[in-house]
Amino acid sequence: MTKTSYLFFTGKGGVGKTSLACATAVGLADSGKKVLLVSTDPASNLKDVLESSVEEHIKPINGINNLFAININPEFAAEAYRDRVAKPLEGNATHYEINKIREDLSGACTTEIASFDEFSRFVSNESEGDSFDVIIFDTAPTGHTLRLLELPAAWSSFTDENPEGASCLGPTSALQSGKERYHLVVDRLRNPELTTFYIVSRAEKVSLKEAARASQELKDLGMNNQQLFINGIYKALDQQDPLAIKMETMANEQLANIPNNLNTLPTKSFPLLPYNVLGIPKLRSLFNTELQKSISEKTISKTDTPAQILKGMDQLVNDLCLNDKNGLIMTMGKGGVGKTIAASAIAILLAKKGFEVLLTTTDPAAHIQDFIEQLGDIPPTLNIERIDPKIETKRYTEKILAHKGEGQSEEAKKLILEDLKSPCTEEVAVFHAFSKAISMSRRKFVVMDTAPTGHTLLLLDTAGSYHRDIMRNNLNASRMRTPYMAIQDPKLAKIILTSLPETTPMREAVSLQNDLKRAGNTPYAWLINQSISMLSGISDPLLRSRATMKLKLFKL
């Protein structure tokens, strides 16, 4: 068990951060430590995993001594943050201007900053932190958030005078009160005697790549005390099941090619289990192989053959082209859920039906090519357009920096540049590149990977008012159709919300759906990727057990 006072778990959604954070908390509490578990995850399922009430104030966990938990709602924290930013502007700005600023502050970056503001109080001992031996955080702040707080310009008068220069932070009046606390917290995060970072991953390429990026970002900030947890490693129980053998082979290949910067970290692996890790006994099993074996045997013995309850991809494609010969189809979801594969499969199936199709994607050519080669030749009616997010973001960043950085100090330019490293910037930049293809959707099917979030769409609308400017200044306005307007037309555009059959990705997809509805877009369909419950003929008992469990998630 760890010897530091602060433990941070970070990694992609759905890799098992919460389960491992909770299991570590239970183990430390069992050893006699007084432990506080803090979650700032917007899709938190702490109460499900701990099988105990977890609220926005510290409460003891049922069934175990010395363990307490609190769930900080990042959406509430972000709303309070927006209120602090907007209040000083009342009476000095129009209703439209205030709404614009609030929308600027509705992205993932603002939510992270607001969450950091909340959990930093525990590290600085302002919120009962000093009454616990160990505080465990599920989830760690990103490198982008931490770098923003490190920039001296973030604490200057720059953003007060130039509010458009930092859309993630907003006017610094909302942050000034925490300035000294943030510096103290960052110093403690750098101290290896006080803080340990657990980088959590699956034995999958995308997940390991994300873990490597997070690890390097933290190291660049001087946060070097890291360990790697690889979760859900699959070992086939039935050597006659071809799916089981294939899954084990693929996992082994990824483990043999772990990114170099992760190879240097102390590493612990955890097996894929036939049961959901819910409740104190099952959490204890993650670090207890005998208990793990006992629960696994009982679970597998009760497993029946899962029933198939979802329609397949072929039915989705049939529905998409039932009454249409053209349209815009957008796959959307969190990173690593299979948006690119979903978009590629939809495009190929439409093209095989004889429709003209343009697949426009941000995925590297090799990834798509690997997928398409498994299916045979590309249909002659399919064209593929690849957009490089890095190139598009660089162009967009240079353009904005030239505009907003003109006449500013070097420190101010650094803040603008750091702000432009946010996920929102890449989404907007890629959307600008995608927008060229959207106009073609009136003549053919355009399948877009990856669609912009509801927040990005609102930013494009409220910040630039692009389509309203065109409508106002064009004599043929009634015939004009901007990209934003096209996406809002349900007859033309259909959003396919993509997820994995895992608790966190499913809840994140629900959050994305709500985000889209806020922007006036309702998803056409959900596509659940890697759903082994849809497969027949599974003989491996562990996979059959997992398939049965996945069916329950479709009721989320």
Supply the residues annotated as catalytic: 14, 16-19, 41, 504
Q: Do strands 59-60 and 67-71 pair parallel, antiparallel, or not at all (unpaired)?
A: antiparallel
Residue 535 in tokens: 């497969």
61 touches 92 (CB < 8 A): no
Instruction: Quote the CA–CA distance of 398 and 394 in Å, as a whole number.
Output: 6
472 touches 478 (CB < 8 A): no
Beta-bridge mates of residue 8: 137, 197
The residue behind tokens 């803040």 is: 415
**327 three-state secondary structure:** strand
C-alpha distances (whole Å) from 288 to each of 113, 270, 282, 291, 292 are: 37, 11, 10, 6, 6
499 touches 528 (CB < 8 A): yes
C-alpha distances (whole Å) from 126 to each of 149, 155, 181, 505 are: 19, 21, 9, 33
Residue 107 in tokens: 């992205």
User: Which parts of 275-385 fold into alpha helices (H)?
Assistant: 280-285, 289-301, 313-320, 339-352, 365-373
Output helix, strand, coil percentages for the chain, rounded to the nearest 5: 50, 15, 35
Triad 65, 503, 320: Cα angle to 5° = 170
User: Which parts of 405-540 fold into alpha helices (H)?
Assistant: 410-419, 423-438, 454-462, 466-473, 483-487, 503-518
- The type of residue at 523 is P
